Structure 1
Amino acid sequence: MLEITALTWVLTIVLIIALLAVDLIMAAVRPHRVGFAEASAWSVAYVLVAILFGVWFSMQYGGQFGTEYFAGYIVEKSLSVDNLFVFVIIMTTFAVPEAHQHKVLTFGIVLALIMRAIFIAVGAALLSLFSFMFLVFGLLLIYTAVQLFRHRDEDPDVENNAVVNAARRFLPVSDDYVGGKLVTRIDGRRVVTPMFIVLIAIGSVDLLFALDSIPAVFGVTAEPYIVFTANAFALLGLRALFFLVKGLLERLVYLSTGLSLILVFIGVKLILHWLHVDIDERVPEIPTSISLAVIIAVLVVVTVASLIKTRRDPSAKAHPGSLRAHRSPVDAPDHQDR
Structure 2
Amino acid sequence: MSLYVSLYRAYQIARALIEKRPLALSDAGDVDGVVSATLFKISRPSAEIVLAHPTDVARSPILRRVYWDFVADLPCPGKAKLRADHHVTNTPCADEEYYDPSAPASALLAYKALSLEGNATATRLVELAVETDTANIKSREALLLDSAVKGAGYRGKLYLVRLLAEKGLDALNDEKVKEWIARHEEVRLRTESLAEKIPVEEVTVVAFRKRLKLSYRYLTILLERRGAKFTLVLVPRGLFKYRVYAGAQPESSYDASTVASRLGGGGHKFAAGALFRATSLRQALEKALEAAKTGAGVDPQKVVVVSDYNCIKEVYMEGKNKKLVF
TM-score by length of 2: 0.30
Higher fraction of helix = 1
Question: Considering only CA atoms, is the larger Rg found in Structure 1 or Structure 2?
Answer: 1
Higher relative contact order (CA 8 A, sep 6+): 1
